[in-house]
């Protein structure tokens, strides 16, 4: 989907930036852990504690082990990082969907129903395979947070709803199918599951964005545009300059939205601001 087919409204821009930040942080921590583990090869036979070898590193006393023990933990960091990063990726997306519900004038909803509620209100629907993959991830997240990672029946049920195409897409990112998980097994999130979470939520967020374009009234879009513009345009502008600036702002961020100059004038007037 081309960028100008999407509306770059504040909640969507925040969602995109948050996704990128979470991904970059996870990659930095994952690579950093492996770099650190490799570096500790230089001190592997030492009997001294890390705080003695690296006394200037902040908080080293909280990880005050011998190099060989620290190295083992660092080499196995991926699973622990995944257990934190995948829930974060899902939370970022769920927050965005709640913003979409608010924009469309709907009440808030739980994670298991928010997409259906948004689609119904917008008179549209989400891709079925993507939604199933999202719900598998959501139930995995619930298992990690609420059941110490133990597989629950709702997770088994959601995995059973995966279509062959959905399973192929999942395995493309993770390298493994979730179908083997049974009640009582333990869920683990590795890098592949984070990639799957980021890819699935990215696509669903774009679908949600596309749904909002016709579903949100032009007057509401105009209000969003004006408020967004005022946040990013400091200082006072005369009405003629204001018109030029806002039309450029619309072309850059809101090209896909069918708002008129009359809609924008009305929205500005509600803020006590004149536009030529």
Question: Could you tell me if 179 and 159 are in contact, meaning their C-beta atoms sit under 8 angstroms apart?
Answer: yes
| Predicted pLDDT at 181 | 94
The tokens for 40 are 């500790």
- Of 209, 204, 211, the residue nearest 124 (C-alpha): 211
- Of 223, 263, 250, 264, the residue nearest 7 (C-alpha): 250
Q: How many CB atoms lie within 10 A of CB 37?
A: 18
Q: What is the pLDDT of residues 66-95, one digit of tens each?
A: 999 999 999 999 999 999 999 999 999 999
**pTM for the predicted model, two decimal places:** 0.91
- Of 13, 6, 4, the residue nearest 210 (C-alpha): 6
Q: Tokens 């009582």 map to which residue? A: 184
| Predicted pLDDT at 222 | 96
Q: What is the pLDDT of residues 215-253, one digit of tens each?
A: 999 999 999 999 999 998 867 888 899 999 999 999 999
Q: What is the pLDDT of residues 114-143, one digit of tens each?
A: 999 999 999 999 999 999 999 999 999 999
| φ, ψ for residue 144, nearest 5 deg | -65, -45
- Cα–Cα dist 248/236, whole Å: 17
4 confidence band (pLDDT: 50, 70, 90): low
Beta bridge partners of 186: 150
Q: Tally helices (H) and strands (E) across the chain.
A: 12, 0
Decide if pLDDT at 55 tops 60.
Answer: yes
Question: Could you tell me if 46 and 53 are in contact, meaning their C-beta atoms sit under 8 angstroms apart?
Answer: yes
| Predicted pLDDT at 3 | 53
Could you say which DSSP state residue 106 is in? P
- Of 145, 157, 143, 146, the residue nearest 185 (C-alpha): 143
């Amino acid at each position: 989907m081309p960028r100008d087919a999407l509306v770059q409204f504040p909640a969507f821009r925040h969602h995109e930036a948050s996704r990128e930040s979470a991904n970059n942080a996870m990659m930095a921590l994952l690579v950093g852990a492996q770099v650190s583990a490799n570096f500790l090869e230089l001190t592997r036979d030492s009997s001294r504690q890390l705080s003695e070898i690296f006394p200037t590193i902040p908080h080293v006393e909280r990880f005050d082990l011998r190099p060989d023990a620290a190295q083992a933990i660092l080499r196995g960091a991926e699973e622990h990082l995944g257990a934190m990063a995948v829930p974060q990726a899902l939370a970022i997306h769920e927050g965005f969907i709640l913003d979409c519900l608010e924009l469309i004038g709907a009440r808030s909803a739980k994670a298991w129903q928010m997409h259906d509620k948004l689609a119904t209100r917008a008179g549209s629907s989400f891709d079925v395979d993507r939604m199933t993959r999202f719900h598998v991830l959501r139930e995995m997240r619930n298992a990690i947070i609420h059941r110490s990672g133990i597989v629950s029946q709702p997770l088994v049920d959601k995995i059973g709803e995966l279509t062959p195409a959905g399973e192929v897409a999942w395995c493309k990112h993770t390298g493994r199918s979730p179908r083997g998980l049974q009640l009582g097994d333990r869920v683990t999130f590795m890098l592949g599951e984070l990639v799957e979470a980021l890819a699935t939520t990215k696509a669903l967020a774009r679908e949600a964005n596309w749904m909002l374009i016709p579903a949100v009234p032009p007057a509401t879009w105009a209000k969003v545009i004006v408020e967004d513009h005022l946040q990013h345009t400091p200082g006072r502008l005369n009405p003629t300059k204001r018109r030029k600036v806002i039309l450029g702002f619309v072309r850059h961020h809101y090209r896909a939205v069918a708002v008129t100059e009359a809609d924008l004038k009305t929205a500005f007037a509600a803020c006590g601001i004149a536009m030529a």
